[in-house]
Structure 1
């Protein structure tokens, strides 16, 4: 969410807690003109205000280690946030005071099973497109979408170009690169975080020249049929032959 608004001079960012100096918020508080988030350099035009002494307080590294030291029979500690460097240092400090504790640091797109205390990777984009026989909607190619404006459908086609606007909106252009595309998938700035959090920032670039299947209500915009995707579950990658994975009626 933060990276969408940092370039907007009308945005005011309130810092209400401590942040490491090398973290994005730490850099913002220090007056950085640009920062890197999720691999993308962002120009900072927003105003940054600090109010951490009024609103927030939490344990620092030493206090956390002292707290853990009070539980000598502790078996596991899970570190869920912070930069990789900060997490590694905290892990070292914890294991210095308790050599028997296992420190778990879930990575990007990993989930922790508490019953077994094991990490598992989250699934990537779902593959395959449901058969029309299992749906109320039709399943059609991008070139047929114009005939189904106003109806819900599964639409499949090859992504030929993508575009992400500065404020977060993403476009997937099917059939031909923009502006000659025959169908558009749009993710608005209100919903883009759902996709970025699940699939990783820049996920749209991984779809170029891949066949996708998108579910939703078809509408016309500037005489081009499109579907607005509000949830990653609407979007699926079709492996192999699209005609077999998603047959059309």
Structure 2
């Protein structure tokens, strides 16, 4: 049987714990305001899972294909594709030796006050998203400007 990827097991364990807590709460017969407590506990579990991302260094990206992670690293180079308005950020190395490519499509580029190729150039960033492969290299496609932040 295949071993779950790093990060996947964490989500499974978190959801299993939350489910057990919810079921335990639901089965208590003498609990006052049972429905209210059930709703509160369910919401806590959902928010915990939503914000519990696996944090990795950009060089670890190849080991997390199909995982949703927060990947951090230095932006070594950027490229604006003039024909589409798309911006590429090369994290962890200069193209073509980058550890991770961040793809920011034109519609998302418009969400930034400062163009991302300028705002993040030569800085440390953290990007949250699903890692996919494009032409043999890991990438994260940004669908919202909130997915990328300057690292502190």
- TM-score band, normalised by shorter chain: 0.5 to 0.7
Q: 1:194 corresponds to which residue?
A: 111
Q: Deviations over 1:163-212 (max 9, x none)?
A: 111120000001111121110000112322222xxx22x33223222110
Contact 2:68–2:128, Cα closer than 8 Å, also in 1:
yes
User: Is the 2:109–2:145 contact (alpha carbons within 8 Å) kept by the matching residues of 1?
Assistant: no
Structure 1: distance between partners of 2:142 and 2:88: 10
**Higher RCO, 1 or 2 (CA under 8 Å, sep at least 6)?**
2
Task: Kindly name which structure, 1 or 2, has the bigger radius of gyration based on alpha carbons.
Answer: 1
Q: Which digits, 9 at most, give the CA deviation of each residue in 1:27-80, with x for residues without a partner?
A: xxxxxxxxxxxxxxxxxxxxxxxxxxxxxxxxxxxxxxxxxxxxxxxxxxxxxx
Aligned position for 1:141: 57
Query: In structure 2, what is the Cα distance between the partners aligned to 1:160 and 1:176?
Result: 5
1:183 to 100, 111, 116: 100
Q: In structure 1, which of residues 158, 181, 185 is the aligned counterpart of residue 74 of structure 2? A: 158
Specify which structure has the higher proportion of helix.
2
Residues 1:238 and 2:125 are matched in the alignment? no
Look up the match of 1:205: 118
- Among 198, 211, 227, the alignment partner of 2:140 is 227
Gaps of 5+ in 2: 1-48
Pairwise CA distance, 1:227? 0.4
State whether residues 68 and 130 of structure 2, in contact with CA within 8 Å, keep that contact through their aligned partners in structure 1: yes
**TM-score if structure 2 supplies the norm length?**
0.63
Gaps of 5+ in 1: 1-132, 240-249
Give a deviation string over 1:211-248, Cα, whole Å, max 9, x none: 10000100011111110011111011112xxxxxxxxx
Poorly superposed stretches of 4+, deviation over 6 Å: none
Q: What's the C-alpha RMSD, in Å, of the aligned pairs?
A: 2.0
